[in-house]
Structure formats: C-alpha cells, structure tokens
C-alpha cells in the first residue's frame, strides 16, 4: 500500500561541506542516509528520518542540518498534522499506535507555575560555599514514636533505612528496554554518587550484582528474573503495579529484543515475547498487595525496605493510604509524563494525572491520616532539572526518580523511537552493533556529572532560602507560591498564590 | 498468641506445634533452625500461617499437618514441602526450586510465575493455576493437578509443564475451566479427557501426544502416583490432549509503528 505519510523532517546537506565520508550513513539506524556509488554522492531518504540528531552530531564537517518538515496543511486547530498522520498510519496498518518516551502533549506543567522562596533582609541566606549543606535523605518507614534510653541512645528498633546522598535516583528501566551498557552506566553513577538505580522488570545481569548496594530490584507482573539471589542482591525491592506512561496496562517486550543476554536475565527463551500482564495476578486488592509486600519482606528477612510503585491516577490518594497500610515502606508515584520504552500512544497521552497534583494530594492525605511517616514518598514522571526536584521536595516528596533526564545525559534526544529498537544513540536497543555506542565509563561520568550539577544547584537554592538541610524543605509548602493557577489548582497543591 | 515458639529438636530433626503461633515468629524460628543445621521440620496444627518455606534456601524437608496459609513456598529455593491437608492461595508463587506435595485441595494462583521446582496437588485447584509459569535452560517448573481446575488455567504461560488429570470427575463429566491457556506463549499443558474449543484461549492449539510428550507426562504421573498411592498405569491408560502455544509472539500484530 502506498503510504500517504509525509516526511517529518528535512535533511539539508551542505554540498560544499560534505566530503562523502559516509559517517551519517553508518550512524543512522533509520536508513535515512545512503551512498550512491554511481554518482559517488551521499543522498537522503527523508521520509525515514526520526529527528534523532545522531548524524548531525557526528558529521565531521558540520554539513548536516535537520529541520522539521513544516507541512503547509490548511490551518485547522482541530485537525492538526499529528492527528491527520495518526489516522493515516492506522488506516494503513490497522494497529494500535505505539510510541516511546513520555506524554508530549500540552498538558499544564505545574512545576513551571510554582516558584520558590528566598531569604531577604529579615532572615539571612546561607552561603553553601562556606557552610555545610545537607542533602542526605533516608528512605524507609519511620516509627510513630521513638524511645531513648537513659544515655540518650535509640531504644526503638528502626525499620530498614537507605541513605541517599542526593535525593535523585535513576528510574526503573529494564534490561531489554535499554541496553546493558546503559545499566552499567546507571549502576556505576549511582554507586559513585551514593544514590540508587533501578533494574526495572528485566532481571539483573550477573555483571551488575556487585552494584547491589546501590540497586533497587523490581518485581513486576511478569516476575522476570526474580529469584532469591536477585532479591538478596538489591538494597530495596520494588513492586511495580503501574507506570505513568501506561497506567493500567501491561508491557510487551517484543521477541526481537529478547537477545541471548536479555533471555539470560529475564530467564525466558530467546526470541519469545516477554509479556508483563496488566495486573499482577496475585494482587487484586489492597489485602493482596499486603500479602506480596510481606512475602517479599519474608523472602528478604525484613532487611530491606519494600517499595510499591503506582501510576498517578484519579484516586491515588486513597490508594496510597491503602498501600501504606499494606506495609509499603516506600511509595512511588509516576505521573502523566512518565516515560516508557513502548506504550500505546493513546494511553500515554490520555491516561493518568500530572505528578505535581498527585504528589500534593497523596502527601496531604497521608498527613491527614497521620501515617505520612510510615512510608517515604518518591515521585517521577517528567522531572527535568533541580528546580523540579526542589519543588517536588517542598510539595512533600522524599526523593525523585529520573528516567528521561538520565537518558538525555547519555545522548538521548527524545526522538520517541524507543519502541522501534533502532535507537541510534545505542540506548534503547539490544542490537549489539548499536549498544556499543554507549561506553559505560563515559556514560557513568555524564550521569554522575548531572547529579553533581543538580546537587550544587539544590544546595544553592536551599542556602538562598536560609536553610541548610533538605529535611527543612521537605513538605514545606510555604516555600512555594503559585503563579497563573486557579483556586482549585492552588487548593489541591496546598500552595498560596504569589504575592499573598 | 504465643510469644515463644516451642520446638522439640532431636539432631537435625525439629517438630513445632504451631497452635497460636503468628507466621512471623514461625518463619523466623524456622530460619534459625535451618541455619543451625536442621534438615527436617515437622509442623503440626498449622492454621493459616503464611509464607512457610520462603527464604530457607536449603533442601529442607517440611511436613505440615493442617492448613498452611497463602503463599506457601513463595519465592522458595530448595525445600520439599508435604502438606497433609489443603493449601490456600498462591502456593508456589514465583517458586524457584523445590517440591510441594498437597494431600488435598489448593486455592487460586497455584504456581503463579514459578520458574522451577515441582508442585503436586492431589485434588482440585481454584482459578488461574499455573499462570505465567516460565522456563529457562534446565529450569522447567511442573504443576500436576489430580482433580480439576477453574478458569484461566495456564494463562500467559511462558514455559514449564502443567498436567490436569481430572481423576475426581464422574463418568461423562468434563473440566469446566474456561480461558485455558489464554495468552500462552511457551510450555505445555496436558489434560486427561477433553475440553471443548470454547474453553480454550485463542492463542493455543490442541494436539495428540507424541513419544516425547508421553515420556514427560509418564514421568510426572508416575511421581504423582508415588506421592498419593494412585495407579499410574491406569491413569495413563486414558485419552490425553496436549495444549500448546501457537505463537512465540501472540501479540506481535497488535501494533502500528
């Protein structure tokens, strides 16, 4: 069938600069560039271009420019090019539209409507270059009260706690969705910066067990690669119920991505689809969740916090209350903008709620019920910079997960082709000729640099507010003001309007 | 509720009266005993204690009298559990290796996501038995059910062997389970007797048994007969069907890229 889909990008090749070296031909995984031997010239197939910028970045003479193909459809706010092209694609295939990364639509980004406070005159700011600043964060259930003995030592036995030097962790991205070199980069960076990375639901490669103290091992509906040694290896065990990019649905890692090495960690034969069912079939209620939480506590002899991750949805606050009562030590909320290696586009862009609202609602509810101390609260889904992190902490989060931001640090240009398995940056693929494009030494350096930069910025923001510990900002919504938000939004966020 | 767990211990054999003992105390005590070198544990008057056999990671023989609670042998690696009584839900959940033998019935999601080991249930099981069992290399879980099962038997099955014997069905009676093998993409199910087409998931096919099937089935039925005193030859002298996945990638054609 002839496709009616127009090219999304225009590839401009400056013929004066191009030296026919074919770097672009070799770097492109979407077959956009090709060498025409007859004419001795490199040419384009623009319709294949995904806009990933790999060729531009690596062109030694700067001969390439990739521009959006701004189709001159007749103006129509309702029938925008994306809408038209989605229909064309479905008319030609009859399938569910699949996509990668997170929701890219114009939903309000509340972080951009929240501003932080700073000290002026009446209380001094603190200079982080001169004074120690504390970002340390402890994840785990805190007791309702503590008892001290006569010498002031702690008598109460604390549930297991995990100390993070920076309140930013790497979000769950499974081996299979991303490459082993990405896992190595994440694991090494997490170890260097004393935070945690997350295996996702794909098991833990044998070469990564040595990073166990900085690893969150995930248990999801497919139970891939879950066994005693895996549970013992991790610092935290996370039950994944849902994911912000695709709340309510499962995951299908296509058989084509189940290579020999992936099959080794998932413990399924090479080439079979790795199907993660929509629900965990032993969890149909809060009571069932509690059963799995305690099964994992028993399996790890009460030595590790058990985390439970859900997608942020309408009733998150009530669900979170149930999760805490079910015994979760850490609650993870993944918002509307949470990313994925592959999800139906209609789900990614239409299901779930913004993380800012979910976070505020959950924190408020747990405080009202007097159980906020019983679980740490971690948020994810579109955290872009340290400003978002600071605002999340002020809204009530204990820590954040970053997924997309971490991948961007590794080279990802958010071209949303993760589901094709052809990632030209070698991140979201299991093709060995591509995965070697990520060098774990360099990858770990880039990730650790990112976290270092954010740490410095967080300390600067704290100092500016006149506080020297992140703990003093946590849940302190008076440090925030809203700009351009209506009364209902301000009420849910628990934040006053700027100027008040 | 008892604060301490009373243990009668002789060498490597221990016996615990579990009346009124909470599962956390019981399992903690069992971990200590196994760490001390105990290799045979007898639990009597068991009544609903969960997670028995989890986190022992040794080939311990555990004999249970009574009704163990949910998630018996969850994430289990190595123990051999025999229950004289019924088992509840989640028996063998994500089990890795070992053996569970139930002299009675068992509840829902028996053997959920099991990756190794064997489970034998003398009588019936509830819903979703063997759901998402998987195999890798030498590790192939087996679940043998002497009676019948409810809906979603072997759903999403990705590996291993599931046997449904229907020994307690009356003459002319059939298995009632629907959605058998829905989403199945690995492993094999053997059913004694027959099921109607409408009872099967769309992703499975039905075939007769070949020599290698008969060998696999014969071994498991022989083991079943050994545990429960049944006549293996008589069981095997019946019609069996084999249910197998038609696709390695059942949902490969759902998507547009």
Inform me whether the pLDDT recorded for A73 exceeds 80: yes
Residues of A with CB below 8 A from B71's CB?
A: 282, 291, 295
- Chain B residue numbers touching A222 (CB-CB < 8 A): 113, 132
- Per the model's pLDDT, the better-predicted residue between A143 and A71 turns out to be A143
- To probe the interface with B, which of A89, A240, A298 has the most B CB atoms within 10 Å? A298
**For testing the chain A interface, which of B132, B181, B183, B187 should be mutated: the one with the most A CBs within 10 Å?**
B132
Residue B249 and residue A273: Cβ atoms within 8 Å?
A: yes
**Fold category of B105-245 in CATH:** Pectate Lyase C-like (2.160.20)
pLDDT of residue A62: 96
CA distance A274 to chain B (A): 8
Per-residue model confidence (pLDDT) at position B5: 86
The answer to whether residues A141 and A78 belong to one domain is no
Return residues 51-80 of B near A (CB < 8 Å).
Answer: 51, 54-55, 57, 70-71, 74-75, 77
Average the pLDDT over A165-169 and give the result: 98
Question: Average per-residue pLDDT in chain A?
Answer: 95
Q: Which residues of B touch A227 (CB under 8 A)?
A: 75, 77, 94, 96, 115
Q: What is the mean pLDDT of residues A162-183?
A: 96
Closest residue to B255, CB basis, from A98, A263, A298: A98
- Whole-number Å distance between alpha carbons of B246 and B157: 12
Query: Which member of A96, A255, A267 has the closest CB to residue B254?
Result: A96
What is the sign, positive or negative, of the torsion defined by CA atoms of A429, A431, A432, A438?
negative
Geometric angle at alpha carbon A457, from A454 and A459, rounded to 5°: 110
Overall domain count for chain A: 2
The confidence band for B205, taking pLDDT boundaries of 50, 70 and 90, is very high
Distance from CA of B237 to the nearest CA of A (A): 33
Residues in a beta bridge with A9: A68
- Asked whether residue A232 falls in the same domain as residue A153, the answer is yes
Grade residue A340 by pLDDT with cuts at 50, 70 and 90: very high
Segment B153-176, tens digit of pLDDT = 999 999 999 999 999 998 888 999
The Cα of A237 is separated from the nearest Cα of chain B by a number of Å equal to 13
A282 CB within 8 Å of a chain B CB: yes
CB contact under 8 A, B158 and A268: yes
The pLDDT of residue B251: 79
| CB contact (8 A) between residue A267 and residue B27 | no
Query: Is A469 part of the contact surface with chain B (CB cutoff 8 Å)?
Result: no
- A272–B158 CB contact, under 8 Å: yes
pLDDT band at A277 (very low <50, low <70, confident <90, very high): confident
Residue A251 and residue A275: Cα distance in Å, rounded?
A: 6
Is the model's pLDDT at A253 over the cut of 70?
yes
On the question of pLDDT at A327 being above 80, the answer is: yes
Report pLDDT for B101: 98
Q: Do B256 and A294 lie within an 8 Å CB cutoff?
A: no
Task: Provide the CATH number for the domain around residue A67.
Answer: 3.30.70.20
Residue with tokens 């959605």: B179
Tell me the chain B residues in contact with residue A326 when contact means C-beta distances shorter than 8 Å: none
Contact with chain B for residue A303, Cβ under 8 A: no
Judgement on whether residues A210 and A301 belong to the same structural domain of the protein: yes
Distance from CA of A268 to the nearest CA of B (A): 5
Q: Is residue A453 part of a domain?
A: yes
CATH label of the domain that carries residue A444: 3.20.20.70
Give me the pLDDT at residue B156, please: 93
Summary mean pLDDT of chain B: 94
Q: How confident is residue B3, by pLDDT bands cut at 50, 70 and 90?
A: low
Asked if A268 and B50 come within 8 Å (Cβ–Cβ), the reply is: no
Domain co-membership, A155 together with A302: yes
**pLDDT confidence of residue A141:** 98
CB-CB neighbors (< 8 A) of B57 in chain A: 228
Whether residues A299 and B75 touch (CB distance < 8 A) is answered with yes
In chain B, which among 210-229 make CB contacts under 8 A with chain A? none
Contact A272 B136 (CB under 8 A): no
Phi and psi for A124 in degrees, rounded to 5? -75, 145
Q: Is the pLDDT of residue B252 over 80?
A: no
Q: Are residues A48 and A161 in the same domain?
A: no
Of the pLDDT bands very low, low, confident and very high (cuts 50, 70, 90), residue A250 is: confident
B142 touches chain A (CB under 8 A): no
Domain boundary among A95, A125, A145: A95
Secondary structure E strands in A249-362 = 251-253, 274-276, 306-311, 330-334, 343-344
What residues of chain B, 95 to 114, have a C-beta less than 8 Å from chain A? 96, 109, 112-113
Q: Is A88 on the interface with B (CB under 8 A)?
A: no
Neighbour-count burial of B113, counting CB atoms closer than 10 A to its CB (0-12 exposed, 13-18 middle, 19+ buried): buried
| Cα atoms found within 13 Å of the Cα of residue A248, Cβ hemisphere only | 13
Question: Of A227, A265, A304, which to mutate for an interface test with B (greatest number of B Cβ within 10 Å)?
Answer: A227
State residue B172's pLDDT score. 84
- The answer to whether residue A53 sits within a structural domain is yes
Nearest CA in chain B to A100: B257
CA distance between the termini of chain A: 61
The angle formed by the CA atoms of residues A290, A330 and A264, to the nearest 5 degrees, is 80
Q: A300 vs B57: CB contact, 8 Å cut-off?
A: no
Within a domain: A105? no
State how far residue B233 is from chain A, nearest Cα, in angstroms.
33
**Which one of B49, B126, B257 would you mutate to disrupt binding with A, by most A Cβ within 10 Å of its Cβ?**
B257
Residue A312 CA to chain centroid, in angstroms? 14
CB contact set of A264 (below 8 Å; sequence gap of 6+): A205, A206, B136
Cα distance between residue B209 and residue A243, in whole Å: 42
* Domain contains A74: yes
Regarding whether A182 and A64 lie in a shared domain, the answer is: no
Domain range for A209: 137-497
| A307 and A180 share one domain | yes
User: Are the beta carbons of A53 and A412 closer than 8 angstroms?
Assistant: no
Out of A210-214, A271-275, A426-430, B8-12, pick the least confident.
A271-275
Contact list, B126 vs chain A (CB under 8 Å): none
- Please determine, for residue B2, whether its predicted confidence score (pLDDT) is greater than 70: no
Tell me the nearest-neighbour CA distance from A107 into chain B, angstroms. Answer: 24
pLDDT of A39 above 70: yes
CB of A93 within 8 Å of a chain B CB? The answer is yes
A474: closest CA among A465, A485, A483? Answer: A465
Last residue in a domain, options A95, A125, A150: A95
Q: Tell me the count of A-B CB pairs closer than 8 A.
A: 136
The pLDDT of A346-374, averaged and rounded, is: 97
Which residues of chain A make contact with B90, given a CB cutoff of 8 A?
282, 291, 295
Nearest Cα to Cα of residue B49 among B98, B2, B9, B94: B2
**Cα B190 from Cα B115, distance rounded (Å):** 18
Cα A492 off chain centre by: 24
Domain boundaries, chain B: 105-245
Q: Are A219 and A295 part of one and the same domain?
A: yes
Whether residue A422 lies within 8 A of chain B, CB to CB, comes out as no
In a domain, A4, yes or no: no
List the one residue out of B48, B36, B132, B39 whose CA is nearest residue B78.
B39
pLDDT of B204 reads 95
Higher pLDDT, B169 or B252: B169
Range with the poorest average pLDDT among A218-222, A273-277, A383-387, B174-178: A273-277
Q: Note whether A204 and A271 are same-domain residues.
A: yes
Contact yes or no for A298 and B54 at CB 8 A: yes
Query: Which chain B positions have a beta carbon within 8 Å of A296's beta carbon?
Result: 75
A126 is a domain residue? no
Q: Does residue A453 belong to the interface with chain B, where contact is any CB pair within 8 Å? A: no
pLDDT(A218) > 80: yes
């Amino acid at each position: 069938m002839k496709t009616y889909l127009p090219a999304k990008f225009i590839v401009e090749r400056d013929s004066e600069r191009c030296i026919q070296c074919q770097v672009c031909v070799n770097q492109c995984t979407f077959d956009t560039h090709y060498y025409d031997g007859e004419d001795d010239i490199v040419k384009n197939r623009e319709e294949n271009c995904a806009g990933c910028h790999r060729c531009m970045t690596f062109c030694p003479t700067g001969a390439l420019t990739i521009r959006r193909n701004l189709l001159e459809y007749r103006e129509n706010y309702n029938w925008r090019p994306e809408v038209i092209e989605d229909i064309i694609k479905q008319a030609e295939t009859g399938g569910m539209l699949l996509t990668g990364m997170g929701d890219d639509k114009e939903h309000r980004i509340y972080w951009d409507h929240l501003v932080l406070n700073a000290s002026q005159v009446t209380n001094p700011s603190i200079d982080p270059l001169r004074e120690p600043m504390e970002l340390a964060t402890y994840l785990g259930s805190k007791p309702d009260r503590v008892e001290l003995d006569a010498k002031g030592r702690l008598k109460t036995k604390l549930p297991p706690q995990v100390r993070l030097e920076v309140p930013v962790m790497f979000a769950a991205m499974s081996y299979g969705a991303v490459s082993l070199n990405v896992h190595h980069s994440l694991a090494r960076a997490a170890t260097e910066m004393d935070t945690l990375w997350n295996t996702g639901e794909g098991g833990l490669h044998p070469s990564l067990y040595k990073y166990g103290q900085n690893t969150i091992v995930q248990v999801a509906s497919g139970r891939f690669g879950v066994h005693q040694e895996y549970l013992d290896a991790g610092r935290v065990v996370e039950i994944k119920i849902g994911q912000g990019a695709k709340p309510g649905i499962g995951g299908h890692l296509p058989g084509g991505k189940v290579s020999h090495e992936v099959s080794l960690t998932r413990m399924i034969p090479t080439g079979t689809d790795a199907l993660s069912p929509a629900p965990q079939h032993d969890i149909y209620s809060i009571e069932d969740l509690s059963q799995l939480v305690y099964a994992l506590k028993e399996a790890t002899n009460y030595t590790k916090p058990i985390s439970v991750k859900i997608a942020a949805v309408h009733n998150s606050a009530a669900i979170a209350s149930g999760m805490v009562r079910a015994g979760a030590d850490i609650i993870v909320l993944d918002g509307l903008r949470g990313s994925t290696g592959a999800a139906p586009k209609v789900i990614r862009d239409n299901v779930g709620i913004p993380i800012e609202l979910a976070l505020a609602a959950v924190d408020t509810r747990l405080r009202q019920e007097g159980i906020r101390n019983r679980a740490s609260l971690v948020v994810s889904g579109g955290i872009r910079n340290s400003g978002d992190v600071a605002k999340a902490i002020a809204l009530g989060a204990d820590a954040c997960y970053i997924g997309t931001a971490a991948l961007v640090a590794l080279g990802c240009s958010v071209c949303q082709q993760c589901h094709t398995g052809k990632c030209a940056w070698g991140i979201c693929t299991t093709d060995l000729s591509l995965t070697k494009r990520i060098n774990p030494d360099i990858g770990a350096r880039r990730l650790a640099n990112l976290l270092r930069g954010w740490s410095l910025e967080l300390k600067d923001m704290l100092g500016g507010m006149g506080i020297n510990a992140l703990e003093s900002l946590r849940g302190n919504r008076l440090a925030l003001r809203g700009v351009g938000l209506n009364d209902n939004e301000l009420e849910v966020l628990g934040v006053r309007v700027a100027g008040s | 509720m008892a604060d301490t767990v009373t243990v009668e211990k002789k060498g490597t054999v221990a016996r615990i009266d579990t009346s009124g003992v909470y599962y956390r105390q019981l399992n903690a005590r069992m971990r200590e005993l196994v760490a001390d070198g105990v290799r045979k544990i007898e639990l009597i008057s068991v009544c609903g204690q969960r997670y028995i056999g989890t986190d022992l990671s040794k080939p311990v023989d555990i004999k249970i009298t009574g009704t163990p609670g949910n998630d018996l042998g969850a994430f289990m690696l190595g123990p051999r559990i025999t229950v004289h009584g019924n088992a509840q839900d989640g028996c063998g959940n994500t089990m890795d290796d070992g053996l569970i033998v139930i002299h009675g019935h068992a509840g829902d999601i028996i053997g959920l996501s099991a990756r190794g080991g064997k489970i034998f249930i003398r009588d019936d099981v509830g819903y979703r038995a063997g759901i998402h069992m998987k195999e890798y290399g030498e590790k192939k879980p087996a679940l043998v059910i002497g009676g019948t099962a409810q809906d979603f038997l072997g759903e999403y099955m990705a590996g291993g062997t599931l046997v449904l014997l229907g020994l307690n069905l009356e003459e002319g009676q059939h298995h009632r389970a629907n959605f058998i093998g829905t989403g199945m993409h690995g492993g094999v199910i053997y059913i004694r007797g027959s099921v109607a087409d409408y009872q099967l998931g769309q992703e499975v096919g039905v075939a007769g048994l070949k020599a290698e099937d008969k060998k696999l089935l014969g071994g498991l039925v022989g083991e079943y007969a050994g545990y429960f005193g049944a006549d293996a030859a008589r069981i095997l002298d019946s019609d069996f069907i084999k249910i197998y996945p038609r696709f390695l990638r059942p949902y490969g054609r759902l998507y547009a890229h």
